[in-house]
Amino acid sequence: MWRETKNKGQSEKNKINLNRLRLVVAIVFLLCGALIYKLFSIQIGQCDFYTALASSQHEVFSQLEPERGRIYLREVINGTEKLYPLATNKDFASVYAVPKEISNPQEMAEKLYTFFDEPLLEEKFVEELKTKGITVSSSSLANLLTGKEFAEFASSSKEQIIQKYLKKLDKPGDPYESLDKKLGTEELLKLFAFLASTSSPISVDDLELRNGQVNYKKGVSATRFYLPGFGFDLRPHRYYPEKEIGSHIIGFVSNVDNQEVGRYGLEDFFNEELAGKAGYLKSEKAGKSETVIVNNREYVKPENGSDLILTIDRNIQFVACEKLKEAVKKHDADSGSVVVMNPKTGAIIAMCSVPDFDPNNYKDVSDIGVFNNPVIFEQYEPGSVFKTVTMSIAIDQNKVSPATLFNDTGEIMIAGWNKPIRNSDFSSKGSHGMVDMNYVLENSLNTGSIFAMRQAGPTVFADYVKNYGFGEKTGIELGSESSGNINNLLKPKIKEIDAATASFGQGIAVTSLQMIMPYQAIANKGVMMKPHIVESIVRSDGKREDIQPQQIRRVISAQTAATMSAMLTNVVEKGHSSKAYIEGYYIGGKTGTAQIPGPGGYLKDQYIHTFVGIAPIESPAFVMLTKMDNPKDVVYAEGSVVPLWKDIADFILKYYQIPKSRN
């Protein structure tokens, strides 16, 4: 009995020990499994992470930034090419504050306001008035600046701006606050001298930037100049020496995730070529020391960006842009554009628009729409300047000639349309009677243009319009190009009203660059060239790749081109474009005064003026388009864009030293 009880107790005890052993084995097994899993995770799954972590402790890695390629304007005199930087690189200082070192934030905030913002008050005041629809003349501005309204504006602005500075400066213990100010060397020295001047003024002439630091000049003291509470980082930034001149062509460079990225224009289109390729330096450190081990060093040299040499002539660009600004201001137009092209090669000689912007200060632009290049981006109904296209089609098809007669009644009814289409001078002249095609173009008759289109037929007319490049991008090396809109002419069955209105440039949309191309083809004996703005690409190794002119296609015959040249000359000699006449030269061209579409129809008393001219007509050196949107003091293009065209053309003829061909 006792033995059975003892054996039973021993058996229970052994069973408990066995269970404990099993538990220990299971725990050991699980721990080993977890250890194996962890080792697998570290060595296999997270290998890259820990390798990089280890490398950071014994490796030195520095990315070497390339220098961004430059963009050049050119000037060729007597066969010698001279280049001028339109976009380059320059060291700028990014200024920052160290609030914990500033003892008097209020004083420093007021000084920053005085240095940066106070000089801009008048300009900001005028801008605010414009937003209220108030136009300020130079004569009335002087009185406004001494009045109560400006005083209140200045006081309110000062208070707001100083408070913004205080939010950054009045932070005890804060080691860094960016001021978002990028300054050139001279302006940096002026700022530091101004901020440091309290009871005793410091002259900027006593300071210099040396070895990346502001120092006293050696003649004063060899010591470093120290300004508590402020510092700067000096690094190269994109710089545009010509400022607004060519801003729509080049665009600008912005900083995205500490990388410079081209935006708009050439900076965007050629960003990869201009940016180059970064290099790097990788080496090892000896243990915990900062000593770099030279052996086994890996070095990849950065590849600088390519330079662009443009077809733009610096002198013509400057004159064209200045004349355009003057004309837009004179006629109080909303905007304006000029394009000058070499008709034989398609090279753009000048291209500018207003309003423009300073790419050095692109952040100051309130309306980002100004960044788009109007010459290639904005679409508009061209009006009568398109009649040259219509007439060339009918002549090329041998359906009309300059002498073909047409009975003009002043207006015409189109099937399916409930009101007559009239000539622009119908209210004053009525019908013109029996006239020829020369007269139609000279006097810009809508009815005559419809007649010429009908002789060719809507389908043939539409095919030629497409062949002239309307409705598709030209392919110029600039971003954000629009294709225009000729959808009314792309339908299987073209409506008669659509073909009729298109014949005189309404109901379709084009860009300024598209509109100059038919005149380029006429000046080039019927052959259309691809427009281009880059003359050469110079690689970082010095190799220069010249861009060759590219023929797109023949649009009209050489004979048709010669006939159209003569007819366009008559327009200047006898017609609406007589103000384009330049003594000693034969000029050909055509105006367009187009209505502007709006909700429910065309806007009242608002027009877009265009003129495209060729000079000299017998041996064309250039084709130029001038355009103005909604000039307020003249109704027709001959009073606005034609005089502008003449002013620029007169300069170009003299600049190119083209001899006069007529008495």
For the record, the structure tokens of 397 come out as 């098809």
Global model pTM greater than 0.85? no
Residue 187 β-bridge partners? none
Cα distances (angstroms) measured from residue 403 to each of 385, 441, 522, 527: 21, 12, 19, 25
Cis (ω within 30 of 0) for the bond into 355? yes
Residue 434 β-bridge partners? 407
**243 domain residue, yes or no:** no
SS3 category, 482:
coil
**193 domain residue, yes or no:** no
**603 domain residue, yes or no:** yes
Nearest residue to 349 (alpha-carbon basis) of 309, 313, 320, 324? 313
Task: Find the distance separating the first CA and the last CA of the chain, reported in whole Å.
Answer: 150
**101 domain residue, yes or no:** no
**pLDDT for residue 16:** 64
CA distance 318 to 307: 21
CA distance 180 to 194: 18
> What is the residue range of 605's domain?
311-358+374-655
Number of domains in the chain: 2
CA distance 356 to 59: 49
The sign of the dihedral angle between the CA atoms of 292, 294, 300, 305 is positive
**520 domain residue, yes or no:** yes
**349 domain residue, yes or no:** yes
**245 domain residue, yes or no:** no
Nearest residue to 209 (alpha-carbon basis) of 191, 226, 230, 189? 189
CB 207 within 8 A of CB 193: yes
CATH value at residue 568: 3.40.710.10
**pLDDT for residue 87:** 94
Domain boundary among 45, 64, 79: 45
**pLDDT for residue 290:** 46
Residue partners of 411: CB distance under 8 A and separation at least 6: 420, 421, 422, 423, 426, 447
Residue 554 β-bridge partners? 527
* pLDDT tens-digit map of 478-515: 988 999 999 999 999 999 999 999 999 999 999 999 99
Nearest residue to 400 (alpha-carbon basis) of 408, 410, 390? 390
Q: Which residues of the chain have pLDDT under 50?
A: 1-3, 6, 52-53, 56, 289-294
Radius of gyration of the chain (CA): 36
**86 domain residue, yes or no:** no
Q: Residue 160 — φ and ψ, nearest 5°?
A: -65, -45
Burial 7-32 (b: 16+ CB within 10 A, else e): eeeeeeeeeeeeeeeeeeeeeeeeee
* CA 112, chain centre distance (Å): 32
